[in-house]
Amino acid sequence: MRDYWLSKLFFDLQTPAAAAEYRAGRDAVLARYPLKPEVLAAIENDDVAAMAPLVNAYLLRFYFLVSGMPEETFLKRIRASGNKTAGEANRG
């Protein structure tokens, strides 16, 4: 099940200025989104596995690029998450 506001945050961070603001200080940016406590905790902990089912996989991958997580770290964590988005897609 997608989380709208987590997805919106990731979507908005595609703007270079927004991404720069986020890297400079997450709290001010996060305060603008009505995120659920468990979602906020997942962000604060860079918890890839917790966030993976909540957002589109492309947005997830983009977020961790923008937030500065090394590619090898992201690969290790997403592979360990077991999250496979295809199961949610329509067949055909």
Partner 1 sequence: MAELVGIYAASHGPLIVRNWDVLSAACKAAITTGFDELGRRINAARADVLIVISPDHWVNFFMDNLPAICVGVGETHDGPPEPWLNAFPHRKMAGHAPLAQHIVTQAFTRGFEPSVSYKLALDHGFCIPLWKAGVAPLPAIVPIVLNTVEPPLPNVRRCFEWGAVLAEAIASFEGHIRVAILATGGLSHSIGEATMGAIDEAFDRECLQHFASGHREALFTFLDRRMEAAGNGTAEVRNWLAAHGAASAAGARDFELIHYSALPEVYVGCGFASWGTAR
Positions that interact with partner 1 (CB under 8 A): 2, 4, 7-8, 11, 14, 16, 52, 56-62, 75, 78-92
Instruction: Please state the closest distance from residue 24 (CB atom) to partner 1, in A.
Output: 17
Taking the C-alpha atoms of residue 91 and residue 13, their distance in angstroms, rounded to an integer, is 31
Return the number of the residue (28 or 80) whose C-beta is nearest partner 1: 80
Distances (CA, A) of 52 to 16, 20, 29: 23, 23, 20
Distance between CA atoms of 15 and 2, rounded to whole angstroms? 21
Q: Are 66 and 22 in contact (CB under 8 A)?
A: yes
Question: Which CB sits closer to partner 1, 35 or 59?
Answer: 59
Q: Please report how close the Cβ of residue 81 comes to partner 1 at its closest, in angstroms.
A: 6
Tell me whether residue 22 or residue 61 sits nearer to partner 1 (CB atom): 61
